[in-house]
């Protein structure tokens, strides 16, 4: 997803996108490290972008239901996940 700066108006820009099981599974196995978790169904990515000076403030959350085998009994355990985040994006300065 690409959002151009011009799309962010004074009242902000809202993003509400589904995250497929395949996308979540790929993220959980990123960098070649298997976390043992897998997506049980599709997740959701929501965020609001606001201009702050010459930068952009991104606040939102990722929601998903993950599963993993219990290390004791090997039954599949469900983990509802809701991760809030806040990121400030600024233009890189040239050295």
36-46 pLDDT tens trace: 899 999 999 99
21-64 pLDDT tens trace: 999 999 888 777 888 899 999 999 999 999 998 889 999 999 99
Strand-pairing partners, residue 55, are 52
- Average pLDDT of the chain to the nearest whole number: 90
Contacts of 20 (CB under 8 A, 6+ apart): 42
Q: Please state, in angstroms and rounded to a whole number, the distance separating the CA atoms of residues 76 and 93.
A: 48
* Whether the Cβ atoms of residue 40 and residue 66 lie closer than 8 Å to each other: yes
Angle at 66 between CA 21 and CA 27, to 5 degrees: 55
């Amino acid at each position: 997803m690409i959002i151009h700066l011009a799309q962010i108006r004074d009242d902000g820009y809202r993003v509400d996108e589904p995250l497929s099981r395949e996308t979540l599974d790929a993220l959980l196995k990123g960098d070649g490290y298997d976390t043992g978790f897998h997506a049980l169904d599709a997740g959701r990515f929501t965020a609001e972008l606001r201009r702050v000076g010459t930068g952009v403030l991104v606040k939102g959350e990722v929601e998903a239901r993950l599963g993993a085998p219990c290390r004791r009994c090997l039954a599949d355990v469900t983990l509802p996940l809701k991760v809030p985040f806040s990121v400030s994006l600024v233009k890189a300065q040239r050295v």
